[in-house]
Structure 1
Amino acid sequence: MPKIRFGGVMLALLTLAYPLVVYLCLGRLEPRWLAVMLVAMALVRLGVARSTAAWGMAAAAGLLALLTWLGHGWMPLKLYPVGVSGLMLALFGVSLIHGPTAVERIARLSEPNLPHQAVAYTRRVTQVWCVFFLFNGSVALGTALWASDEVWTLYNGLVAYVLMGLLGAGEWLVRRRFRGRIDALAHAAARGAHG
């Protein structure tokens, strides 16, 4: 169990630092060495979790690493954030078609018996995350193709994480209000049943 936790922490740190690492290595190392880092990240991801998302991320990282190795260029490495957003969009989007939604699955980990209103809410939140992943992936692609290395690093290494954090914090605040309304309705219904 400690190995899995350590691997998960290392993977999270590498993923967060990835754009900065790429930026610092531009012109200093051959891109093939960073392709090796992508493969290592993929292997750690599979060691930590063997979910569909982990396999998808590992496959995307492996493909980009192979393209980097064969083409000896930086572009596949700069497309990694695009691949991550694309994969998350696909996972969340498919869950909207073939439920339960991604957010509902996460919510049921802490509350297995979600009320009907909460299931509808998790569907809406999944849709919001889909829009975010579409937006984020599009901007990441734009920065990889047309922006300077500094702009690519700033967006993918900082701005994207700030936007994700703001969306998560905003959803948490909305969820608290929503939860309060559901609890108030349940309390009123229970009072009415006993009255």
Structure 2
Amino acid sequence: MARARVMALGALSLAYPLLVYGALGRFEPRWLAGLLFVIALLRALSAGQKLWWFAAAGAGVLALVATVFNQAMPLKLYPALVNLVMLMVFGLSLRFPPTVVERLARLQQPDLPAAGVRYTRRVTQVWCAFFILNGSLATVTAVWASDQVWVLYNGFLAYVMIAVLFAGEWLVRQRVKAGHANG
């Protein structure tokens, strides 16, 4: 049951830009603000990490501004907020190891060698750079682009970029592992 809730929340979070875009023009932004806050609150409750409570508070502020001013802009800034929180999670793990990527790697390989720790640190740095780029583009599309460009980027292209980064890292990891096995 808990897994189904997490998957449903993940799907709802991924669909957020599409839901907002589909609802704009049909509903006033103040009514959509509740969707934003509920998604952020559910994510914070399910994650149990303090930074997701920070995100929920940020989403609450965005939802409040959208409600008070009946404007869509705060709703469109949510993807940028998520990237900021992810940057904080990954960035803080660089400052206070083990990194996020190392923790994930240790789930499959508990005795991760020193070279693996160095590699996971580098991958964490790459993800931080990605969150800076993606968050910047999410902000730019929210503030200066049309609703169509915003949903295209935040509801599709950002996910394609994430998939490319995952696939590219997996390919590099295979080469690195092979190099260590042969060397």
- Residue 3 of structure 2: aligned partner: 5
Partner SS, residue 99 of structure 1:
coil
Deviations 1:89-115 (A, max 9, x none): 111112112211111112112222110
Which of 153, 158, 161 lines up with 1:160 in the alignment? 158
- 1:124 is matched with 122
User: In the alignment, which of 58, 64, 67 is matched to residue 66 of structure 1?
Assistant: 64
The answer to whether the Cα contact below 8 Å between 2:41 and 2:53 also exists between their aligned partners in 1 is: no
How far is the alpha carbon of 1:58 from its aligned partner? 2.0
Q: Report the equivalent of 1:151.
A: 149
Identify which of 37, 50, 53 aligns with 1:52. 50
SS in 2 for 1:131: helix
Q: CA deviation at 1:53?
A: 4.1
Residue 138 of structure 1 deviates from its aligned partner by 0.7
Q: Aligned pair 1:29/2:22, yes or no?
A: no
Structure showing greater Rg:
1
TM-score (norm 2): 0.94
- The answer as to whether partners of 2:44 and 2:55 remain within 8 angstroms in 1 is no
Match of 2:33, SS? helix
Identity %: 54
Letter in 2 for 1:45: R
Q: Which amino acid aligns with 1:97?
A: R
Inter-partner Cα distance in structure 2 for 1:102 and 1:48: 18
- Secondary structure of the 1:150 match is helix
Q: Which runs of 5+ in 1 are unaligned?
A: 186-195
How many residues of Structure 1 are paired with residues of Structure 2 in the alignment? 183
SS in 1 for 2:104: helix
- How does the TM-score come out when normalised to structure 1? 0.88
Query: Does 38-47 or 173-182 show the bigger shift?
Result: 38-47
Cα distance, 1:110–1:52 mapped onto 2, change above 3 Å? farther
- 8 Å CA contact 2:52–2:85 kept in 1: the answer is no
| SS at structure 1 position matched to 2:27 | coil
1:91 partnered with 2:92: no
Counterpart amino acid of residue 145 in structure 1: V
Residues 33-57 of structure 1, C-alpha deviations (whole Å, 9 max, x = no match): 2111122212321342212343233
